[in-house]
Amino acid sequence: MRTNIKYTINGIDFRIADLNPLFPGSNGPFLCLDLNCQLIEKSLFQNDDLVTGTIVNFYESKEEITAMLFFSSFEHYVLQGHFVENIFHFYSEEEIKDMLDKASLLLSSEIDCPYEKNVAAEFIAAHKLHKIKKIQQKVKKNLTGKRRKEFNSKRNQILLKLIEKYGYSCTKCESIDDITIDHIIPISKGGSDDQDNLQFLCRKCNSSKGDS
Ligand SMILES: [Zn+2]
């Protein structure tokens, strides 16, 4: 297997591995270990000089190599058509920062690669949206926590009033065991502690209702 064969192009080292080692002199595919991408090119196997020559043709400048590095990280997400939603869950903060840098570099370069540039722009825009969404979620969680605390602090008074009004049994199944106070519109969705928004539910009926 042709692993760890080193080529230096424009001052950058690349290692090439033949993924089809049973058939030396085959058409590959070859894996460029440093670009993390497959090169399926007939001429790659013929001789070492030609391998170098071919890669030089593919990636003529440092910017173009950067573009390829950026793009190869995304390729399978782009192909699956859902990279925008999922990509941020698959990479660490540092990796995402690195990709953002590469995307900006690619966008500001003169390289004629509209498809890759479009992916880069989409990535930057998606990252912005993702960040906003994360902040929204955090604020919402804080607010919900605060509201729950508020409700718990006056829970006993509310409980007495509700018993006066409704008795003390599950609104759905009339059980009198494991009674909980349920917010009809959940606290997390902005529901109030007004009596109109409260009902007794047993634990079983409450959990089958879902979010409380
Ligand atoms: Zn019930």
Answer for the pair 202, 173: CB distance below 8 angstroms, yes or no. Answer: yes
Beta bridge partners of 15: 6
51 Cα: distance to centroid of ligand 1 (angstroms): 73
Q: Comparing 187 with 111, which gets the higher pLDDT?
A: 187
Residue 169 pLDDT more than 90? Answer: yes
194 Cα: distance to centroid of ligand 1 (angstroms): 21
Beta bridge partners of 138: none
- Average pLDDT of the chain? 70
Answer for the pair 129, 93: CB distance below 8 angstroms, yes or no. Answer: no
Answer for the pair 201, 182: CB distance below 8 angstroms, yes or no. Answer: yes
Tokens standing for residue 27? 């058409």
The model's confidence at residue 92, banded by pLDDT at 50, 70 and 90, is: confident
What are 36-59's pLDDT values in tens digits?
Answer: 444 434 333 334 443 433 343 344
Phi-psi region for residue 191, left (φ > 0), alpha (ψ -120 to 50) or beta? beta
Largest CA distance in the chain: 90
> How much of the chain is helix, strand and coil, in % rounded to 5?
60, 15, 30
Domain ranges of the chain: 1-60, 62-153, 154-209
175 Cα: distance to centroid of ligand 1 (angstroms): 5
pLDDT of residue 86: 57
Residue 135 pLDDT more than 60? Answer: yes
206 Cα: distance to centroid of ligand 1 (angstroms): 7
CA-derived radius of gyration, the chain: 30
192 Cα: distance to centroid of ligand 1 (angstroms): 22
Packing angle, helices 114-153 and 155-166, rounded to 10: 70
37-39 and 179-183 as β-strands: parallel, antiparallel, unpaired? unpaired
The model's confidence at residue 29, banded by pLDDT at 50, 70 and 90, is: very low
* Sheet with 30-32, side-by-side order of all strands: 5-9, 12-18, 30-32, 37-39
